[in-house]
């Protein structure tokens, strides 16, 4: 349990904030809050896939910042490298205020996520090494990411809710679904015509449980509308994040037994990548009524 | 031609006593003073116009500071004018104006610039504000002895204006970089030099008018002893009215606390020099004038004493309003010697006793009896006596007193109501047993016992043989009970004999039983089921129905802890605009004292009345008891105009502690005037600066109860 400490920490925070005492009415009797926001976060992926730095391992992890690189084919089927240093996420949420300062709600998030390039792709691929007989040219998969979270929280009790300071905790799922409309290719000559060859069970979504802690600072524009600035701290509640087995384009692919990307590898890699995307900065508008 | 003189002489002869009679009768039917006639211009001019006029007329202040000065002085003046305490056109103000006219006979320009008003306040004071508005308190009028003394005080205030002392103070505070605040005391914070100057220069006007120099020293005595009541009389049994009532002497201290005021107190922290220094300084000044005349008055002394009596009656009322019951009773005691059977005084007396009884039963005795050791003069006797009374004794005394007053005015429904309330209050006395009340008065009981003892002297001497001491006591006590009294005749039991004439009264018992029944029913609420409690809670949260009387909200804005006038004005401004948005406009009646063109005396008097009610309400500590309104008739008239009115008091405070930290908070109280019940709004607090949304939110919150 790598993130056990974080969870305990989060729970402590949660308990503490729930014990605060609020006022008995609301600002203009507003009880419903609808928000639309955009969040972005720096992709803070460490160098080492497995957290170790080894020179002689099968899957040595070298190359600073590779964790943010991906590659795709453009309209001219030309291989292009991308460096996604930031994620952009769109959020929509509905919150209901009860007991004058407590909040319960639901949040939907959407973001586009590029699986980062496989670490093994760039290292020491030689003609001699049959493991990687070809340069690693396959497109990295692109996922549509959807979050659904239940929110619980409270406004700071000193002033009438909804007010400036909102603390919420979210628990929900993050689902990754393969974007099927991309120009996926093995290389510039070889398009992937059957996505089954690209990703095992490509239609099945990857589901992760997530816990989040959010702080929102509301700046009132009119009595109903406010500009929100917020911080969002996400923790993925899953354990396997070592994408070191079932590497892409291995035996199975060439023998035709499995797709280029195995589910096991992708699941671990997505887990790893999103776990470290912990800190989001948010801004947007809230409408309270 | 000759006959015309005779005729006018006769007319005058007839008119004079008529006026006197009119005055006399108006004190019999005394009601609190109201403003009369056309509203003076300062009431009908808007704040901005006044500020503009002030900027125009100020000469001694730097151009840059003129606006600030004008705004602050006018804000202070407006606060006073909107306090609901200022009178115009009433006999007191008219009298003050007459005295001022006499002083200013040779200064027609100055006379045009100055205005005089009376403020209903028991503080002995006179104030001068910058636009030439001089205020004299009713407390001052009640204390001074004659017209000349008033003239000297007015002259003193005129000098403050003439010499532009306020402007000098402002300049000085600007120089020393002191923060300007608008509290009234600070605004009139004139240095001691100014006081000496005013004392000395006042002589010029005073002397020219022809008043006597002998009155001046007394003025300072009046000021020194102004913390005492307007007269000092001995307290004896007549204080309790009914000669049948026995009040044990042991309840009174042997003598009253001494009067301690002395002239040479430490004035180092005071704005005014001490009396000794002022007296010394003025003695030298007086010598500079020769040919002093010997007039203590120019206006008829009857008019002065009439005006003074109004002020004294106002003082009684003011003390009641401010829950200073003992002072009120003492003043009534003084006044009833001159005005026996005066309904106002007696009603006030009944109210004072009722309020004391109710306050005591609500456990708030200390709110009106405190610091007994610090009371000076014979009033300390009353304090000491009342502090010794238990709740039961005080409740019984209240019934006794109110019943006596009721007997004196049997036709007054109001007094009867007060007495009935006093009887009802008895039901709230803990461990009180109505059956223990005696049917004869204490004095009669003593008389009977003496008669009995003389009757039985002989039989008693025939001691029964073999009788033990205890048998003998039992026998004697059994005989004692045949004197109709089972209570031991000792001082501690005096209260059991207080209601000797009421105990057998059916009405008395009915009122008492009814209240006992009511209390029993109310107690039932505590044993309600959860569901019923929920229902009750729901009912409590029900929207209020009835008209809404609004008075000027109490708003204040601060910047880093200091009063911020501009923001305060903005706060008011937005509040005024937001109220119509969220208030149920068809039910709202604005009774705030708005100084604007549509100001009318009638509206003003109503607003003043409501303000007084509020003062009473704030000071009243009578717990669950029903409120008895002091200005009963006037208020009844007002209430009739509305449909079950609620008085809504809004208060708000905005603070800016740094560029990023703003807060605005507020709340409202709703007083159902017909019952006196007070409800409160939820506390409103937001971290916003003064703006439409934050102030609107407060207004929304306040009116969400309707």
Taking CA–CA distances from A158, the nearest residue in chain B reads B685
pLDDT score at B176: 63
| DSSP, res B136 | E
Higher-confidence residue of B480 and B500: namely: B500
Q: How many helices (H) and strands (E) does chain A have?
A: 3, 10
CA dihedral sign, ordered B360, B362, B367, B370: positive
| DSSP, res A195 | G
CB contact under 8 A, A28 and B692: no
pLDDT score at B521: 81
Confidence of residue B87 (pLDDT cuts 50, 70, 90): very high
Q: Which residues of B touch A24 (CB under 8 A)?
A: 682
Inform me whether the pLDDT recorded for A129 exceeds 60. no
Shortest distance, CA A222 to any CA of chain B (angstroms): 6
Inform me whether the pLDDT recorded for B524 exceeds 70. no
User: Looking at the partner chain, which of A29, A159, A222 has a beta carbon nearest the beta carbon of B686?
Assistant: A159
pLDDT score at B589: 86
CATH number where B690 lies:
3.40.50
CB contact under 8 A, B696 and A223: yes
Q: Rounded CA gap, A48 and B93, in Å?
A: 92
CB contact under 8 A, B683 and A223: no
Inform me whether the pLDDT recorded for B572 exceeds 80. yes
Shortest distance, CA A244 to any CA of chain B (angstroms): 50
Q: What average pLDDT does this structure show over B478-493?
A: 64
**Mutation site, A21, A27, A163, interface B, largest B CB count within 10 A:** A27
pLDDT score at B163: 85
SS3 category, B610: helix
Q: Rounded CA gap, B271 and B134, in Å?
A: 18
Per-residue model confidence as pLDDT tens digits over A184-201: 888 788 888 888 888 888
pLDDT score at B464: 60
Confidence of residue A35 (pLDDT cuts 50, 70, 90): very high
Contact B267, B274 (CB under 8 A): yes
Give B 685-704 residues with CB within 8 A of chain A: 685-688, 692-693, 696-697, 700-701, 704
Q: Which two tokens stand for residue A12?
A: 């402590």
- The strand pairing partners of B544, in sequence order, are none
**Mutation site, B700, B703, B704, interface A, largest A CB count within 10 A:** B700
Please state, rounded to an integer, the average pLDDT across all residues of chain A: 77
Percent share of chain B, pLDDT over 90: 32
pLDDT score at B445: 81
Q: What average pLDDT does this structure show over B506-521?
A: 90
Q: What average pLDDT does this structure show over A215-223?
A: 91
Confidence of residue B264 (pLDDT cuts 50, 70, 90): confident
In a domain, B690, yes or no: yes
Least confident of A43-47, B514-518, B657-661: A43-47
Q: Rounded CA gap, B75 and B573, in Å?
A: 14
CB contact under 8 A, A28 and B696: yes
Of B488, B366, B506, whose CA–CA distance to B438 is shortest? B488
**Domain count within chain B:** 2
Length of chain A counted residue by residue:
289
Which residues lie below 8 Å from residue A27, measured CB to CB, with a gap of 6+?
A160, A161, A162, A163, A223, A288, B686, B697
Higher-confidence residue of B484 and B212: namely: B212
Query: Rounded to the nearest 10 degrees, what angle do helices B147-162 and B91-103 cross at?
Result: 70
Q: Rounded CA gap, B13 and B228, in Å?
A: 39
Of B668, B671, B694, whose CA–CA distance to B681 is shortest? B668
User: Looking at the partner chain, which of B685, B693, B701 has a beta carbon nearest the beta carbon of A223?
Assistant: B693
Q: Which residues of B touch A158 (CB under 8 A)?
A: 685, 687
User: Looking at the partner chain, which of B685, B692, B704 has a beta carbon nearest the beta carbon of A160?
Assistant: B685
CB contact under 8 A, A159 and B663: yes
**Mutation site, B659, B663, B687, interface A, largest A CB count within 10 A:** B687
Burial of B58 (0-12, 13-18, 19+ CB in 10 A): buried
Taking CA–CA distances from B663, the nearest residue in chain A reads A159
Percent share of chain A, pLDDT over 90: 28
User: Looking at the partner chain, which of B688, B693, B701 has a beta carbon nearest the beta carbon of A25?
Assistant: B701
Inform me whether the pLDDT recorded for A98 exceeds 60. yes
CB contact under 8 A, A159 and B687: yes
SS3 category, A114: strand
SS3 category, B109: helix
pLDDT score at A41: 83
A116 phi and psi angles, rounded to 5 deg: -75, 160
Taking CA–CA distances from A219, the nearest residue in chain B reads B688
pLDDT score at A138: 82
pLDDT score at A65: 44
Q: Which two tokens stand for residue B103?
A: 């002083």
Which residues lie below 8 Å from residue B69, measured CB to CB, with a gap of 6+?
B54, B58, B61, B167, B170
Confidence of residue B120 (pLDDT cuts 50, 70, 90): very high
Which residues lie below 8 Å from residue B505, measured CB to CB, with a gap of 6+?
none
Confidence of residue A170 (pLDDT cuts 50, 70, 90): very high
Inform me whether the pLDDT recorded for A241 exceeds 80. no
Higher-confidence residue of B462 and B373: namely: B373
Higher-confidence residue of B459 and A184: namely: A184
User: Looking at the partner chain, which of B682, B685, B697 has a beta carbon nearest the beta carbon of A223?
Assistant: B697
Confidence of residue B435 (pLDDT cuts 50, 70, 90): confident
Per-residue model confidence as pLDDT tens digits over A4-27: 554 444 444 444 433 333 456 788
Confidence of residue A133 (pLDDT cuts 50, 70, 90): very low
Confidence of residue B92 (pLDDT cuts 50, 70, 90): very high
Inform me whether the pLDDT recorded for B102 exceeds 90. yes
pLDDT score at B20: 42
CA dihedral sign, ordered B90, B91, B96, B97: positive
* DSSP H or E run through B175: helix B165-175
Confidence of residue B33 (pLDDT cuts 50, 70, 90): very high
Taking CA–CA distances from B689, the nearest residue in chain A reads A220
Q: Give the β-pairing of B548-550 and B588-590.
A: parallel
User: Looking at the partner chain, which of B663, B692, B697 has a beta carbon nearest the beta carbon of A27?
Assistant: B697
Query: Rounded to the nearest 10 degrees, what angle do helices B565-582 and B63-81 cross at?
Result: 50
In a domain, B337, yes or no: no
Shortest distance, CA A164 to any CA of chain B (angstroms): 7
Terminal Cα distance for chain B, rounded: 71
Q: What average pLDDT does this structure show over B364-393?
A: 89
SS3 category, B51: helix
pLDDT score at B188: 46
Q: Which residues of A touch B693 (CB under 8 A)?
A: 220, 222-223
Angle at B541 between CA B539 and CA B546, to 5 degrees: 85
Of A263, A138, A139, whose CA–CA distance to A201 is shortest? A263
User: Looking at the partner chain, which of B683, B686, B692 has a beta carbon nearest the beta carbon of A27?
Assistant: B686
Higher-confidence residue of A202 and A124: namely: A202
Per-residue model confidence as pLDDT tens digits over A260-283: 888 888 888 888 777 777 888 999
Inform me whether the pLDDT recorded for B459 exceeds 60. no
pLDDT score at A146: 94
Domain with B652 in it: 548-703
Confidence of residue A161 (pLDDT cuts 50, 70, 90): confident
Inform me whether the pLDDT recorded for B115 exceeds 70. yes
Length of chain B counted residue by residue:
706
Q: What average pLDDT does this structure show over B457-471?
A: 60
**Mutation site, B581, B582, B663, B697, interface A, largest A CB count within 10 A:** B697
pLDDT score at B56: 86
Inform me whether the pLDDT recorded for B21 exceeds 50. no
User: Looking at the partner chain, which of B663, B685, B688 has a beta carbon nearest the beta carbon of A220?
Assistant: B688
Chain A touched by B679 (CB under 8 Å): no
Rg (CA), chain A: 22
Q: Rounded CA gap, B442 and B318, in Å?
A: 35
Confidence of residue B420 (pLDDT cuts 50, 70, 90): very high
Q: What average pLDDT does this structure show over B546-575?
A: 90
CB contact under 8 A, A159 and B685: yes
pLDDT score at B457: 55
Q: Which residues of B touch A157 (CB under 8 A)?
A: none
Taking CA–CA distances from A218, the nearest residue in chain B reads B687
Per-residue model confidence as pLDDT tens digits over B643-665: 888 989 899 999 999 888 899 99
Terminal Cα distance for chain A, rounded: 42
Taking CA–CA distances from A226, the nearest residue in chain B reads B693
CB contact under 8 A, B687 and A23: no
pLDDT score at A59: 46
Q: What average pLDDT does this structure show over B283-300?
A: 88
CATH 2.40.160.20, applies to A4-288: yes
pLDDT score at B449: 79
Of B425, B412, B421, B399, whose CA–CA distance to B633 is shortest? B412
Chain A touched by B683 (CB under 8 Å): yes
Least confident of A91-95, B176-180, B587-591: B176-180
Confidence of residue B484 (pLDDT cuts 50, 70, 90): low
Contact B523, B685 (CB under 8 A): no
In a domain, B185, yes or no: yes
Per-residue model confidence as pLDDT tens digits over B191-233: 678 888 888 889 999 999 999 998 998 898 888 888 888 888 8
pLDDT score at B352: 95
Q: Rounded CA gap, A284 and A148, in Å?
A: 18
**Mutation site, B543, B693, B694, B704, interface A, largest A CB count within 10 A:** B693
Least confident of A129-138, A194-203, B242-251: A129-138
pLDDT score at A251: 63
Q: Which residues of B touch A159 (CB under 8 A)?
A: 663, 685-687
Judge if the upstream peptide bond of residue A162 is cis by omega within 30 degrees of 0.
Answer: yes
Please state, rounded to an integer, the average pLDDT across all residues of chain B: 84
pLDDT score at B587: 87
């Amino acid at each position: 349990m790598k993130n056990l400490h974080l969870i305990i920490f989060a729970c402590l925070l949660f308990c503490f904030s729930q014990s605060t005492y609020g006022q008995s009415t609301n600002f203009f009797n507003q009880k419903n809050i609808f928000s639309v926001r955009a969040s972005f976060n720096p992709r803070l992926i460490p160098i080492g896939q497995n957290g170790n730095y080894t020179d002689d391992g099968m899957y040595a992890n070298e190359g600073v910042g590779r964790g943010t690189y991906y590659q795709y084919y453009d309209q001219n089927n030309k291989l292009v490298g991308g460096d996604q240093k930031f994620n952009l996420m769109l959020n929509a949420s509905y919150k209901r205020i009860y007991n004058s300062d407590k909040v319960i709600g639901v949040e939907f998030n959407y973001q586009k996520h590029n699986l980062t390039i496989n670490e093994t792709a760039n290292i020491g691929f030689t003609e001699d090494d049959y493991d990687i007989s070809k340069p690693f040219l396959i497109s990295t998969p692109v996922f549509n990411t959807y979050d659904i979270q239940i929110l619980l929280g409270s406004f700071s009790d000193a002033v009438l809710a909804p007010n400036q300071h909102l603390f919420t905790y979210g628990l929900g799922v993050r689902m990754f679904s393969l974007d099927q409309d991309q120009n996926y290719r093995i290389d510039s000559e070889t398009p992937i015509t059957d996505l089954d060859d690209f990703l095992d069970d490509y239609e099945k979504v990857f589901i992760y449980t997530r816990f989040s802690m959010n702080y929102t600072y509301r700046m009132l524009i009119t009595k109903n509308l406010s500009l929100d600035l917020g911080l969002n701290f996400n923790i993925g509640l899953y354990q396997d994040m070592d994408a070191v087995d079932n590497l892409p384009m291995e035996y199975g692919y060439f023998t035709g037994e499995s797709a280029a990307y195995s589910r096991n590898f992708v699941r671990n890699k997505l887990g790893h990548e999103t776990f470290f995307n912990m800190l989001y900065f948010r801004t947007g508008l809230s409408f309270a009524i | 031609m000759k006959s015309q003189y005779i005729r006018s002489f006769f007319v005058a002869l007839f008119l004079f006593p008529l006026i006197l009679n009119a005055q006399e009768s108006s004190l019999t039917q005394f009601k609190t003073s109201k403003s009369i006639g056309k509203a003076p211009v300062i009431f009908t001019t808007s704040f901005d116009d006044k500020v503009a006029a002030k900027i125009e007329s100020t000469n001694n202040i730097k151009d840059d500071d003129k606006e600030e000065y004008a705004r602050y002085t006018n804000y202070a003046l407006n606060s006073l004018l909107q306090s609901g305490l200022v009178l115009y056109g009433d006999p007191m103000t008219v009298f003050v104006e007459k005295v001022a006219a006499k002083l200013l006979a040779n200064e027609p320009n100055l006379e045009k610039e100055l205005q005089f008003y009376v403020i209903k306040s028991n503080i002995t004071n006179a104030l001068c504000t910058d636009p030439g508005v001089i205020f004299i308190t009713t407390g001052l009028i009640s204390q001074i002895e004659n017209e000349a003394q008033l003239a000297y005080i007015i002259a003193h205030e005129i000098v403050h204006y003439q010499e532009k002392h306020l402007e000098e103070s402002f300049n000085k505070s600007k120089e020393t970089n002191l923060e300007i605040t608008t509290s009234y005391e600070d605004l009139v914070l004139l240095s001691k030099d100014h006081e000496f100057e005013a004392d000395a220069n006042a002589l010029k006007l005073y002397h020219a008018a022809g008043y006597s120099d002998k009155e001046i020293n007394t003025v300072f005595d009046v000021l020194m002893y102004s913390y005492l009541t307007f007269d000092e009389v001995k307290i004896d049994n007549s204080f309790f009215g009914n000669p049948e009532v026995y009040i044990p002497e042991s309840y009174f201290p042997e003598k009253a606390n001494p009067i301690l005021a002395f002239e040479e107190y430490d004035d180092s922290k005071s704005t005014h020099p001490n009396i000794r220094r002022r007296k010394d300084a003025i003695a030298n000044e007086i010598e500079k004038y020769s040919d002093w005349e010997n007039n203590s008055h120019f206006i008829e002394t009857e008019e002065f004493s009439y005006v003074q009596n109004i002020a004294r009656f106002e003082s009684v009322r003011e003390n009641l309003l401010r829950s200073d019951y003992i002072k009120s009773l003492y003043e009534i005691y003084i006044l009833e010697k001159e005005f026996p059977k005066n309904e106002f005084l007696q009603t006030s007396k009944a109210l004072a006793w009722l309020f004391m009884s109710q306050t005591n039963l609500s456990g708030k005795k200390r709110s009106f009896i405190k610091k007994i050791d610090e009371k000076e003069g014979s009033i300390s006797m009353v304090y000491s006596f009342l502090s010794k009374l238990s709740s039961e004794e005080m409740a019984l005394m209240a019934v006794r007193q109110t019943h006596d007053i009721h007997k004196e005015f049997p036709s007054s429904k109001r007094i009867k109501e007060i007495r009935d309330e006093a009887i009802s209050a008895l039901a709230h006395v803990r461990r009180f047993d109505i059956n223990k009340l005696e049917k004869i008065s204490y004095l009669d009981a003593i008389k009977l016992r003496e008669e009995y003892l003389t009757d039985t002297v002989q039989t008693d001497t025939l001691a029964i043989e073999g009788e033990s001491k205890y048998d003998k006591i039992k026998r004697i006590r059994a005989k004692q009970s045949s004197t109709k009294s089972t209570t031991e005749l000792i001082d501690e039991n005096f209260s059991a004999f207080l209601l000797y004439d009421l105990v057998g009264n059916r009405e008395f018992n009915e009122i008492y039983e009814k209240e006992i029944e009511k209390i029993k029913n109310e107690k039932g609420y505590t044993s309600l089921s959860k569901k019923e409690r929920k229902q009750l809670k729901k009912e409590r949260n029900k929207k209020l129905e009835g008209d809404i009387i609004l008075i000027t909200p109490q708003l204040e804005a601060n910047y880093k802890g200091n009063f911020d006038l501009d923001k305060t004005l903005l706060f008011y401004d937005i509040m005024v605009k937001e109220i119509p948005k969220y208030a149920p406009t068809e039910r709202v009646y604005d009774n705030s004292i708005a100084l604007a063109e549509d100001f009318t005396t009638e509206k003003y008097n109503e607003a003043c009345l409501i303000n007084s009610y509020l003062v009473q309400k704030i000071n009243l500590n009578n717990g669950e008891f029903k409120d008895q309104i002091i200005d009963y008739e006037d208020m009844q008239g007002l209430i009739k105009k509305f449909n079950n009115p609620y008085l809504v008091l809004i208060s708000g405070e905005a603070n800016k502690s740094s560029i990023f930290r703003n807060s605005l908070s507020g709340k409202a109280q709703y007083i159902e005037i017909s019952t006196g019940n007070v409800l409160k709004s939820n506390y409103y607090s937001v971290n916003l600066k003064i703006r439409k949304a934050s102030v609107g939110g407060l207004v929304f919150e306040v009116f969400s109860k309707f």
